[in-house]
Amino acid sequence: MSNKKYQSQVELLRKQINHHNFQYYILDDPELPDTEYDRLLKELQDIEKAHPELITPDSPTQRVGAKPLKHFSEIKHEVPMLSLGNAFNEKELRDFDRRILDKLEVDHVEYVAEPKLDGLAVTIMYRDGIMNYAATRGDGSTGEDVTQNIRTVKTVPLKLSGNGWPKLLEVRGEVFISHKGFKLLNDSQRKKDEKTFANPRNAAAGSLRQLDSRITATRPLEIIFYGLGKVVGNNLSLSHFETLKKLKTWGLRISPEARLLKDVQGCLDYYKKMLKTRDSLPYEIDGVVYKVNHYNLQKKMGQVARAPRWAIAHKFPAVEEMTRLLSIDVQVGRTGKITPVARLEPVTVAGVTVSNATLHNQDEIDRKDVRIGDMVIVRRAGDVIPEVVSAIKSERKKGARKYKMPTSCPDCGSAIIKPEDEAHARCSGGLYCSAQRVEAIKHFASRRAMDIEGLGDKLVEQLDETGLIQDVSDLFGLTQIQLSELDRMGEKSANNILLALEKTKSTTLDRFVFALGIRQVGEATASALAGHFGTLDKIMAADQDDLIAVPDVGPVVAENIKQFFRDKHNKYVVRKLIKAGIHWPVNSVKITNQKLRDKTFVLTGTLASMSRENAKSRLKACGAKVSSSVSKKTDYVVAGENPGTKVSKAEALGVKIINEKTLEKMLVE
């Protein structure tokens, strides 16, 4: 190929990759499976490697980080980066609104509300649609040049999409790390024996302020844009809300929670709603921000000191509080994992009373130097388990004691062992340990596993204490008399439990494999195993090589699966469960159901009876293909609840749309 040909090839690939980035990050509607996307990127990388002269700074390959810097240079903000005043209650918010109404001489004013993300502010300059530089807020008038680092953030476009952007466009947003990213990052830091971060904000700040951008590139940083700096060229819009919509079309991610509100009452309602939604958001927010929508009104309001008079942050209750650490116990998990748990003087954190919090493991306790009797900082954010973040050493009393993990399991007395290469200690008692047994049974009964209605944690503990069950298979031998003799259990509840047990006997292979509680076999892996092997016997008989052939299964997980089914007791329990009548309909599908062979399916929306992974692997087991985008080649679009734009696309192309029930029927035919 001539260089010219490569040039057009490279341009085409970049266009395709940018398009898929937009679908993925901005519209949240990927058209390609990850593997296909990776293939495109790899193709581009290969060409650029062979022809380095074709590399441009806005190429999607240029996100891996550059040579470390000695220090950051300074960048002056032509338009200062302001901060916000705070309102801590309804009165303070109404006062803010009153000041605006009085000054503008109107009786109500429109606001835009957005979540207040808890990260750090950055400003990014685009020149002719290409990212030019990025800087931190600094003191508001001068910040640090973090261009190299910001380039590695996947949600930051290196080149704007769409059209109509001004010649110079400076956009401002918050860089942050999601709850999930934070957990993964800290887990990985722990594994590498490196310092963990106290909260997602610190993790984001630490990652952005790395002199070595190759390190930043490995950190799960994200960005959401919320405003403008300097703009030269096209006149943008007349209001903030219109601007946000425009930014989105240019591939700049804005908050999906941004709303246009009529007046201050709308703000108060929004606040209440977000307070409820807060725990289920994938990232941390510490309040909401209201901004007067129209730019001409913003201008009339002006600013005081370093904060605008037209915007305010309405703060939420803090997610970190201080309390006393009374003692430390250890908890034994389903697979024997030992976790030290802090018993705390009860404290309300973000609206919930917390009296227990995790301390992760002995190394973490040592590293943080947390001692019994200390005042500690506890954090509860999102639906993450509360944790002890640090000890307040300046307030340490003389009697504060260091903690040492017991050497034997408090439950069964077996030795506690800690493999060199693992962060956690484990009880070596296996199913002899009643704590592990109880946890295994709780897991088996849980909603995402066998979903045995009414069989909650308390009841499982009672059944274990009274000796009525030794393992999960004993559940199916329980009688009404045995059950109704338990505390707080009437005849009716006993009957309901028996009915629920009967109902769960008819299940799927995915659920069953997940319910067994094999170490590191979560729902997705269980689905993959069921889809790949089709029958339980085959899974049980699989050797290391067979197992590694399953997507999602590596050597460690393969070893866990093999070990699980090698164990005599486990084999006995599985046999007893099958004998008790547990069955699933799909094991014959792999061989007999030929109708779906080579048919292409697209899944959209939430499926009620199975996870997407589960549906995918079951379809694949029948020889069907599952694609992430609708095209003329699609045979069926399966529409679950709240389906996306894929349904209208299917309608437009005349592709058949089916519901979950029909899919289930097709799968078992």
The answer to whether the CB of 294 falls within 8 A of the CB of 238 is yes
**How many residues belong to the site for ligand IVH (CB under 6 A)?**
15
**Which 135-174 residues touch ligand IVH, going by CB under 6 A?**
137, 174
Interface with ligand IVH, residue 332, by CB under 6 A: no
DSSP-based three-state secondary structure for 394: helix
595 a catalytic residue: no
Q: Select from 160, 311, 344, 647 the one that contacts ligand IVH (CB under 6 A).
A: 311
Instruction: State in angstroms the smallest separation of the CB of 299 from ligand IVH.
Output: 13
Cα–Cα distance, 71 to 144 (Å, whole number):
9
Binding-site string for ligand IVH from residue 354 to residue 393, where x marks contact by CB under 6 A and - marks none:
----------------------------------------
Do residues 80 and 135 make contact, with C-beta atoms less than 8 angstroms apart?
A: no
Choices 116-124, 326-334, 438-446, 479-487; region in contact with ligand IVH by CB under 6 A: 116-124
Instruction: Single out the residue of 367, 352, 366, 357 nearest to residue 328, CA to CA.
Output: 357
Piece in contact with ligand IVH (CB under 6 A), picked from 305-313, 395-403, 504-512, 596-604: 305-313
Binding ligand IVH (rule: CB under 6 A), the pick from 112, 121, 153, 647 is 121
User: Is 313 a binder of ligand IVH (CB under 6 A)?
Assistant: yes
From 30, 138, 308, 333, residue interacting with ligand IVH (rule: CB under 6 A): 308
Q: Which stretch binds ligand IVH (CB under 6 A): 79-87, 228-236, 350-358, 454-462?
A: 79-87
DSSP annotation string for 592-635 = H--TTTT-EEEEESB-SSS-HHHHHHHHHHTT-EEESS--TT--
Scanning 629-669, the segments in alpha helix (DSSP H) are 646-653, 660-668
Judged by CB under 6 A, the stretch of 80-88, 228-236, 385-393, 653-661 that binds ligand IVH is: 80-88
Residue nearest to ligand IVH (CB): 121
Q: Which two tokens stand for residue 230?
A: 């300097």
Residue from 100, 289, 342, 469 binding ligand IVH (CB under 6 A): 289
Which contacts qualify for 433-437: CB closer than 8 Å, 24 or more apart? 433/332, 433/336, 433/409, 434/464, 435/331, 435/332, 435/409, 435/411, 436/332, 436/333, 436/334, 436/335, 436/336, 436/411, 437/464, 437/470, 437/471
Tokens at 223, concatenated = 């960005």
> Which residue's structure tokens are 């057009």?
8
- For 218, the token pair is 């490995």
Q: Report whether 384 contacts 179 (CB < 8 A).
A: yes
Amino acid identity, residue 316? F
Q: Measured from the CB atom, is 137 or 437 closer to ligand IVH?
A: 137
Closer Cβ to ligand IVH, 289 or 638, answer by number: 289
Q: Which of 70, 116, 191, 402 is catalytic?
A: 116
For the bound state, the minimum distance from the C-beta of residue 245 to ligand IVH, rounded and expressed in Å, comes to: 15
Nearer residue to ligand IVH within complex by CB, 47 or 117: 117
Q: Considering beta carbons, is residue 118 or 660 the nearer one to ligand IVH? A: 118
Contacts of 648 by beta carbon, 8 Å cutoff, 6+ apart = none
Residue 117 is a binding residue for ligand IVH (CB under 6 A)? yes
Using CB under 6 A, which of 20, 116, 294, 437 touches ligand IVH?
116
Compute the chain's Rg from CA coordinates: 28
> In this complex, which beta carbon is closest to ligand IVH, that of residue 225 or of residue 444?
225
C-beta closer to ligand IVH: residue 84 or 475: 84
Q: How far is the CB of 329 from ligand IVH (least distance, A)?
A: 38
* Residue with token string 């159901």: 593
Please state the closest distance from residue 355 (CB atom) to ligand IVH, in A. 31
Question: Which token pair is 91?
Answer: 């009165």
Unique residue bearing structure tokens 């903690």: 403
Tokens 């002269």 correspond to 53
Q: Where do contacts with ligand IVH occur on this chain (CB under 6 A)?
A: 82-84, 114, 116-117, 121, 137, 174, 226-227, 289, 308, 311, 313
Active site residues: 116
